[in-house]
Amino acid sequence: MSTKIFTPASNLHETGGTLAVPNWPFPVNATEDWEQLIQMLLDRGKVGSDGVTALQAIAGPGTNIKLTPEGGLAIRMINRTGGASVLGNVVTPYMGWVVTPGSTTLSNMVGVVGASPDNTHAGRLYLAVSIPGGLATVSAYKDSARTELVAEGALADNTGGTVSLTQENASGLSFDIDIEADAAAADDAYVTLGASQGVALTDTSAINQTGVIYESGVADEAPVWVVVAGKCYVSMRANTAITCGSALITSAASAGHVDELFAADATKAQRLVGWALERKVTADAVGTIFCQLALRQTWGVAA
d(CA 78, CA 218): 9
Residue type, 167: Q
Would you say residue 289 has pLDDT above 90?
A: yes
d(CA 273, CA 275): 7
d(CA 246, CA 238): 18
Segment 148-171, tens digit of pLDDT: 999 999 999 999 999 999 999 999
d(CA 32, CA 17): 14
Smallest Cα–Cα separation from 260: which of 287, 230, 227, 297? 287
Would you say residue 302 has pLDDT above 50?
A: no
Q: pTM for this one?
A: 0.63
Task: Tell me the average pLDDT across 168-177.
Answer: 97
The domain ranges of the chain are 12-57, 65-93+198-293, 104-183
Q: What is the pLDDT of residue 264?
A: 80
- Give percent of the chain above pLDDT 90: 62
Mean per-residue pLDDT of the chain? 84
Structure confidence at residue 63 as a pLDDT band (50, 70, 90): confident
d(CA 167, CA 188): 21
Structure confidence at residue 2 as a pLDDT band (50, 70, 90): very low
Structure confidence at residue 292 as a pLDDT band (50, 70, 90): very high
Q: What is the pLDDT of residue 161?
A: 96
Segment 99-151, tens digit of pLDDT: 999 898 999 998 999 999 999 999 999 999 999 999 999 999 999 999 999 99
Tell how far CA 139 is from the center of its chain: 31
Task: Tell me the average pLDDT across 250-263.
Answer: 92
* Residue 65 β-bridge partners: 75
Would you say residue 11 has pLDDT above 50?
A: no
Would you say residue 39 has pLDDT above 80?
A: no
DSSP the chain: ----SS--GGGGGGTTT-B--TT-SS-B-SHHHHHHHHHHHHHTT---TTS--HHHHHHSTTSSEEE-TTSEEEEEEEE-SSSS--TT-EEEEEEEEEEE--SS-EEEEEEEES--TTTSSSSEEEEEEE-GGG--EEEEESSTTS-SEEEEEE-SSSS-EEEEEEESTT---EEEEEE-TT---EEEEEEEEEEEEEEEEPPTT-S---EEE--S-PPTTSEEEEEEEEEEEEEE-TT-EE-TT-EEEE-SSSTT-EEEE-S--GGGGGGEEEEESS-EE--SS-EEEEEEE--S-------
Residue type, 182: D
